[in-house]
Amino acid sequence: MSVERNSAVGEQPSVKPKKAAKGAKVKRAEPAGPAARSAEPAKRAEPVKPAAPESRLAMVRRARRTNRELAEVYPYAHPELDFRNPFELLVATVLSAQTTDLRVNQTTPALFAKYPTPEDMAAAAPEEMEELIRPTGFFRAKTKSLIGLSTALRDRFGGEVPGRLDDLVTLPGVGRKTANVVLGNAFGVPGLTVDTHFGRLVRRWRWTEQEDPEKVEAEIAEIFPRSEWTMLSHRVIFHGRRVCHSRKPACGACPIAHLCPSYGEGETDPEKARKLLKYEMGGQPGQRLNPPAGYPGRPAPARAE
């Protein structure tokens, strides 16, 4: 382990990352996929010694620098749900609870072919919809939400998805996270998406100690200008899915390791860490069947492999 750290995620850092000693021999990862050059890990060669607690100003500077460096690593960061309009994004986001975006993307083409509008979905037979969305899990509850929110869109919003957070959260199955995804990506209204990846990473980075998503959102909103919120969310979630995994973060292949007080929580050997990288970083297909232009990886397969 190269960094002493507090055992509980979210504790204040008791250490400060330090550069490798001059002349120290450092193993580096080999290139791994399209983003490999910018994904080279920082040099680490010796245990980091405890330092004074980081000031708020230093943390904010480090957080903003991390965002800038993530923008260089993932210039193509984007929502990983396939959608063609706000209604499809809203439905896909509701379906994405407790499953992967890939599974949702493999499920929604048939769903939207059968129910292309809120009016169509509001009139759906529940058992038929359940069969269509079964692969996403919790299909009975999700069917109830989708029929309920479609009915609300039809009856209260003229069949259109509203572009205001206060309206979106009144829809069945729609919380702040879903509302922010829709606002940020279908309406261009800045929003922070505090999902499981975002929460885990910002706590590892000591940007916040909060566990509650709404409190995390409020604290991160204080660090960054509104104009950054949507893209920051995509970058952090991209990094969480590709490099900084929940159980085995690929620290030895992490392009922002030099900015991370939790370096060493995962695999630090560059070769072993490189094997943990996912999607385009690991040379694998992405999650979207129809990725946006500029995505350097391969599209996802239409069916589960």
Complex with ligand SF4: residue 213 or 264, whichever CB lies closer: 264
Complex with ligand SF4: residue 5 or 288, whichever CB lies closer: 5
Q: Is 16 a catalytic residue?
A: no
Q: Say if residues 166 and 190 touch (Cβ distance below 8 Å).
A: no
Region for residue 168 given its phi and psi (left: phi exceeds 0; alpha: psi -120 to 50; beta: otherwise): alpha
Please identify which residue in 251, 277, 281, 300 interacts with ligand SF4, judged by CB under 6 A.
251
Q: Is 195 a catalytic residue?
A: yes
Q: Does 254 bind ligand SF4 (CB under 6 A)?
A: yes
Q: Does 235 bind ligand SF4 (CB under 6 A)?
A: no
Tell whether 89 is in a known binding site. Answer: no
Q: Does 256 bind ligand SF4 (CB under 6 A)?
A: yes
Residue corresponding to tokens 């993932």: 74
Tell whether 260 is in a known binding site. Answer: yes
Tell whether 225 is in a known binding site. Answer: no
Neighbours of 88 (CB within 10 A): 18
Q: Does 257 bind ligand SF4 (CB under 6 A)?
A: yes
Q: Which residues pair with 3 in a beta bridge?
A: 48
Q: Does 277 bind ligand SF4 (CB under 6 A)?
A: no
Integer Rg of the chain from CA: 21
Query: Contacts with ligand SF4: how many residues (CB under 6 A)?
Result: 14
C-alpha to C-alpha distances, 259 to 17, 56, 207, 254, nearest whole angstrom = 7, 15, 12, 10
Q: Does 208 bind ligand SF4 (CB under 6 A)?
A: no
Neighbours of 7 (CB within 10 A): 6
- DSSP string for 82-140: --SSHHHHHHHHHHTTTS-HHHHHHHHHHHHHH--SHHHHHT--HHHHHHHHGGGS-HH
Please identify which residue in 44, 154, 176, 204 interacts with ligand SF4, judged by CB under 6 A.
204
Q: How far is the CB of 209 from ligand SF4 (least distance, A)?
A: 16
Please identify which residue in 86, 162, 249, 270 interacts with ligand SF4, judged by CB under 6 A.
249
Q: Which stretch binds ligand SF4 (CB under 6 A): 109-117, 138-146, 156-164, 242-250?
A: 242-250
| Number of residues in the chain | 305
Complex with ligand SF4: residue 118 or 249, whichever CB lies closer: 249
Complex with ligand SF4: residue 105 or 208, whichever CB lies closer: 208
Of 167, 177, 215, 278, catalytic: 177
Question: CA 287 to CA 129: how far, in whole Å?
Answer: 23
- Long-range contacts (CB closer than 8 Å, 24 or more residues apart) made by 163-169: 163/86, 163/187, 163/189, 165/189, 165/191, 168/90
Sign of CA dihedral 278, 282, 288, 292: positive
- Just list the catalytic residues: 177, 195
What does the binding site for ligand SF4 look like in residue numbers (CB under 6 A)? Answer: 204, 243-244, 249-251, 254, 256-257, 260, 262-263, 265-266
Binding site, by residue number, is 244, 251, 254, 260
